[in-house]
Amino acid sequence: MEKVRIGIVGSKFAADFHCDSYSRNEHAELVAVAAIDNLEAISSKWNIPHSYEKYEEMFERDDIDLVSVCVPNFLHHDVVFAAAKAGKNVVCEKPLATTAEDAGQMIHACEDSGVKLMYAEDWCFAPALKLFVSTARFPAPATAQHPLGGSVPARSDGVVLNFQVCNRAAAMPSFPLVEVRPGMPLGEDLRE
């Protein structure tokens, strides 16, 4: 399998997390990092061969397949837009955006550019949640409250979870509702 070549935008806590994860994956290769500070420290710690003070310059590289956005939240929108414009797939650290409007624009920019936008929300893989989903008995039929008002009917064999932007801070009504049933692996696309 060919390696996914990665560019990191940011150099602090979240970037360090991402670098650590990528360094443990034999299918990932850290190619470059862009940040306004801490470049030498993160580059040498993770043996990243190329560093940039401007992410736009890093995005000009042909050898980057994926960009990890690990900057302060208010910068996510601009970095994702630039990455999409450059034709780079994106993993954006949580929260996706600071407003629902920004999140929608980011999603559309990536769709329009034909690149993937992935949201680095780790809670859905937490062992406690997996255990809950695999062992809980859900009432049927049921409804779930939509964060923007109203209720959403659940199917007769499960509960509807609304995966939201910004951890409830900016829920988007266009985000998909996903049904989770006991014993079903998380991450499977269950929409019809």
102-134 pLDDT tens trace: 999 999 999 999 999 998 876 666 666 667 666
pLDDT at 120: 83
Is a pLDDT exceeding 50 seen at residue 176?
no
Omega of the bond prior to 139 within 30 degrees of 0, cis? no
Q: Show the tokens assigned to 191.
A: 């929409």
| CA gap 7, 89 in Å, rounded | 10
Domains of the chain by residue range: 4-120, 124-180
Residue type, 12: K
- Tell the residue number behind the tokens 């003070």, with chain if given: 53
Domain 4-120 is in which class?
alpha beta
* Mean pLDDT score, 24-46: 96
Tens-place pLDDT, residues 44-71: 999 999 999 999 999 999 999 999 999 9
Residue type, 110: C
Q: pTM to 2 decimals?
A: 0.67
